[in-house]
Amino acid sequence: MADNVRELRPKIPDTEKITINLGYVDLGHVDLMVQEGFYSNRTDFIRTAIRNQLERHAEVVRQSTVRKNLDLGLRNYTREDLEAARRAGEMLQINVLGLATIAQDVTPELARATIASISVLGALHATPAVKAALADRTR
Protein backbone atom coordinates (compact mmCIF):
# COMPACT_ATOMS: atom_id res chain seq x y z
CA MET A 1 0.00 0.00 0.00
CA ALA A 2 2.75 2.48 0.94
CA ASP A 3 4.46 1.82 -2.40
CA ASN A 4 1.76 3.68 -4.31
CA VAL A 5 1.66 6.78 -2.07
CA ARG A 6 3.43 9.76 -3.58
CA GLU A 7 3.83 13.28 -2.27
CA LEU A 8 2.50 15.57 -4.99
CA ARG A 9 3.93 18.77 -3.63
CA PRO A 10 6.30 19.15 -0.69
CA LYS A 11 4.64 20.95 2.21
CA ILE A 12 6.14 24.36 2.80
CA PRO A 13 6.41 25.18 6.50
CA ASP A 14 4.29 28.15 7.53
CA THR A 15 6.69 29.32 10.23
CA GLU A 16 10.39 30.02 10.56
CA LYS A 17 12.30 29.16 13.71
CA ILE A 18 14.20 31.98 15.39
CA THR A 19 16.31 32.13 18.53
CA ILE A 20 16.25 34.97 21.03
CA ASN A 21 18.24 35.64 24.16
CA LEU A 22 16.37 36.95 27.20
CA GLY A 23 17.66 38.03 30.55
CA TYR A 24 16.82 35.75 33.45
CA VAL A 25 14.38 38.19 35.02
CA ASP A 26 12.48 38.73 31.73
CA LEU A 27 12.37 34.97 31.19
CA GLY A 28 11.11 34.52 34.73
CA HIS A 29 8.31 37.00 34.05
CA VAL A 30 7.35 35.06 30.91
CA ASP A 31 7.35 31.79 32.85
CA LEU A 32 5.20 33.37 35.57
CA MET A 33 2.63 34.49 32.98
CA VAL A 34 2.58 30.95 31.57
CA GLN A 35 2.31 29.42 35.04
CA GLU A 36 -0.59 31.74 35.90
CA GLY A 37 -2.44 30.57 32.78
CA PHE A 38 -2.31 33.78 30.73
CA TYR A 39 -0.42 31.95 27.97
CA SER A 40 -0.15 28.27 27.10
CA ASN A 41 3.65 28.33 26.79
CA ARG A 42 6.63 30.63 26.17
CA THR A 43 6.10 30.56 22.41
CA ASP A 44 2.49 31.66 22.80
CA PHE A 45 3.64 34.60 24.93
CA ILE A 46 6.34 35.64 22.46
CA ARG A 47 4.06 35.34 19.40
CA THR A 48 1.40 37.41 21.14
CA ALA A 49 3.93 40.08 22.11
CA ILE A 50 5.24 40.27 18.54
CA ARG A 51 1.73 40.50 17.06
CA ASN A 52 0.85 43.27 19.52
CA GLN A 53 3.94 45.26 18.51
CA LEU A 54 3.23 44.76 14.81
CA GLU A 55 -0.35 45.92 15.33
CA ARG A 56 0.88 48.91 17.30
CA HIS A 57 3.11 49.94 14.38
CA ALA A 58 0.77 48.78 11.59
CA GLU A 59 0.56 52.17 9.83
CA VAL A 60 4.33 52.59 9.69
CA VAL A 61 4.68 49.04 8.35
CA ARG A 62 1.99 49.71 5.72
CA GLN A 63 3.68 52.92 4.58
CA SER A 64 7.09 51.24 4.39
CA THR A 65 5.63 48.32 2.42
CA VAL A 66 4.17 50.72 -0.14
CA ARG A 67 7.30 52.93 -0.28
CA LYS A 68 9.61 49.95 -0.80
CA ASN A 69 7.22 48.32 -3.30
CA LEU A 70 7.15 45.02 -1.39
CA ASP A 71 5.01 42.03 -2.33
CA LEU A 72 3.28 41.04 0.89
CA GLY A 73 2.75 37.40 1.85
CA LEU A 74 3.77 34.26 0.00
CA ARG A 75 5.40 34.60 -3.41
CA ASN A 76 6.38 31.53 -5.42
CA TYR A 77 8.65 31.72 -8.48
CA THR A 78 8.37 28.62 -10.67
CA ARG A 79 10.70 27.46 -13.41
CA GLU A 80 7.95 28.40 -15.86
CA ASP A 81 7.78 31.96 -14.44
CA LEU A 82 11.51 32.43 -14.87
CA GLU A 83 11.57 30.88 -18.34
CA ALA A 84 8.77 33.27 -19.40
CA ALA A 85 10.80 36.20 -18.07
CA ARG A 86 13.85 35.01 -20.00
CA ARG A 87 11.81 34.69 -23.25
CA ALA A 88 10.48 38.23 -22.71
CA GLY A 89 14.00 39.53 -22.06
CA GLU A 90 13.00 40.69 -18.58
CA MET A 91 15.04 40.70 -15.40
CA LEU A 92 13.04 40.36 -12.19
CA GLN A 93 13.42 42.65 -9.19
CA ILE A 94 12.12 40.47 -6.35
CA ASN A 95 11.01 42.36 -3.23
CA VAL A 96 9.02 40.29 -0.75
CA LEU A 97 7.85 40.79 2.81
CA GLY A 98 6.93 37.29 3.93
CA LEU A 99 8.07 34.13 2.18
CA ALA A 100 9.68 33.98 -1.26
CA THR A 101 10.10 30.53 -2.76
CA ILE A 102 12.13 29.69 -5.84
CA ALA A 103 11.09 26.26 -7.12
CA GLN A 104 13.39 23.30 -6.59
CA ASP A 105 13.72 22.69 -10.36
CA VAL A 106 15.11 26.18 -11.05
CA THR A 107 18.76 25.92 -12.04
CA PRO A 108 21.37 28.41 -10.81
CA GLU A 109 21.92 29.45 -14.44
CA LEU A 110 18.22 30.23 -14.97
CA ALA A 111 18.08 32.18 -11.71
CA ARG A 112 21.11 34.30 -12.68
CA ALA A 113 19.70 34.89 -16.17
CA THR A 114 16.35 36.17 -14.89
CA ILE A 115 16.75 37.64 -11.39
CA ALA A 116 18.48 41.02 -11.24
CA SER A 117 18.02 41.50 -7.50
CA ILE A 118 16.31 39.82 -4.59
CA SER A 119 15.33 41.32 -1.26
CA VAL A 120 13.31 39.26 1.20
CA LEU A 121 12.18 40.44 4.60
CA GLY A 122 11.13 37.17 6.16
CA ALA A 123 12.39 33.96 4.57
CA LEU A 124 13.74 32.80 1.23
CA HIS A 125 13.33 29.14 0.30
CA ALA A 126 15.52 28.02 -2.59
CA THR A 127 18.12 25.37 -3.21
CA PRO A 128 21.57 26.08 -1.78
CA ALA A 129 22.91 26.26 -5.36
CA VAL A 130 20.37 28.93 -6.37
CA LYS A 131 21.02 30.92 -3.18
CA ALA A 132 24.75 30.80 -3.91
CA ALA A 133 24.20 31.86 -7.52
CA LEU A 134 22.18 34.88 -6.36
CA ALA A 135 24.41 35.82 -3.41
CA ASP A 136 25.79 38.91 -5.12
CA ARG A 137 22.24 40.04 -6.01
CA THR A 138 20.71 39.49 -2.59
CA ARG A 139 20.05 42.48 -0.37
- What is the H or E stretch that residue 50 is in? helix 42-56
Strand order in the sheet with 115-125: 71-77, 92-102, 115-125
Q: Could you tell me the mean pLDDT of each successive run of 10 residues in the chain, 139 residues long?
A: 59 80 96 97 96 96 92 95 97 96 97 97 96 96
Residues 119 and 82 in one domain: yes
Residues 81 and 42 in one domain: no
State the pairing for strand pair 92-102/71-77: parallel
Boundaries of domain holding 101: 69-137
Residues 82 and 133 in one domain: yes
pLDDT score at 14:
75
- What DSSP string runs through 117-133? EEEEEEEEE--HHHHHH
Return the percentage of the chain with pLDDT > 70, whole number: 91
pLDDT score at 15:
82
pLDDT score at 135:
97
Is residue 14 included in any domain, yes or no?
Answer: no
Is residue 94 included in any domain, yes or no?
Answer: yes
Instruction: With 0.85 as the threshold, say if the pTM is over it.
Output: no
Is residue 3 included in any domain, yes or no?
Answer: no
Is residue 10 included in any domain, yes or no?
Answer: no
Residues 52 and 75 in one domain: no
Residues 86 and 52 in one domain: no
Residues 46 and 75 in one domain: no
pLDDT score at 43:
95
Residues 50 and 28 in one domain: yes
Whether residue 88 contacts residue 109, with contact meaning beta carbons closer than 8 Å, is answered with: no
- How many structural domains are present in the chain? 2
Is residue 29 included in any domain, yes or no?
Answer: yes
Residues 80 and 105 in one domain: yes
